[in-house]
């Protein structure tokens, strides 16, 4: 609901707050940042989306998550890069993402995002 009423900036600030203040762990913060990053991309707020998704990737790497967890983040980053007009970077990242999803199941919706970037189409 917070995303729908336009308080994404406040939500982003809360995501970067110490975990004890949020009441959740790193996995929850990571998930929230990915959702927020996707929402910011949907809104055309590419720079904020990329910053938010980068924060999610840092958490994912620190948690030593499987590579498909990172690939879910990379798919959204590729979509934001494409939105910025950085198509070559977007396609390169989407290509790596699809390679990972070839080895791990991943999330079907994230695979679709990466495939849409590779085709040069908008997803969602």
Q: What is the pLDDT of residue 88?
A: 96
Q: Is residue 88 one of the residues assigned to a domain?
A: yes
User: What's the token pair of residue 115?
Assistant: 């495939």
Tell me the whole-structure pTM to 2 decimals.
0.79
Distance CA 66, CA 71 (A): 9
Q: Is residue 2 one of the residues assigned to a domain?
A: no
Q: What is the pLDDT of residue 65?
A: 76
Q: What is the pLDDT of residue 4?
A: 43
Q: Residue 58: how many CB atoms within 10 A of its CB? A: 13
Contact 83, 113 (CB under 8 A): no
For 2-61, the pLDDT digits (tens) are 444 454 555 555 555 555 555 678 888 999 999 999 999 999 999 999 999 999 999 999
Distance CA 19, CA 31 (A): 13
Q: Is residue 124 one of the residues assigned to a domain?
A: no
> Which CATH number does the domain housing residue 78 bear?
1.25.40.10
pLDDT higher than 50, residue 1 = no
Q: What is the pLDDT of residue 8?
A: 53
Contact 60, 30 (CB under 8 A): yes
For 89-124, the pLDDT digits (tens) are 999 999 999 999 999 876 888 889 999 999 987 655
Q: Is residue 63 one of the residues assigned to a domain?
A: yes
Specify the number of domains making up the chain: 1
From 86, 53, 51, 81, select the one nearest 69 (Cα to Cα).
53
Q: Is residue 57 one of the residues assigned to a domain?
A: yes
């Amino acid at each position: 609901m917070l995303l729908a009423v336009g308080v994404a900036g406040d939500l982003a600030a809360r995501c970067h707050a110490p975990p004890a203040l949020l009441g959740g762990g790193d996995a929850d913060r990571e998930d929230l940042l990915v959702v927020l990053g996707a929402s910011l991309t949907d809104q055309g707020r590419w720079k904020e989306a990329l910053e938010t998704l980068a924060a999610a990737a840092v958490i994912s790497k620190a948690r030593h998550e499987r590579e498909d967890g990172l690939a879910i983040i990379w798919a959204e980053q590729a979509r934001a890069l494409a939105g910025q007009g950085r198509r070559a970077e977007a396609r390169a990242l989407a290509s790596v993402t699809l390679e990972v999803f070839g080895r791990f199941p991943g999330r079907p919706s994230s695979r679709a995002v990466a495939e849409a970037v590779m085709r040069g189409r908008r997803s969602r």
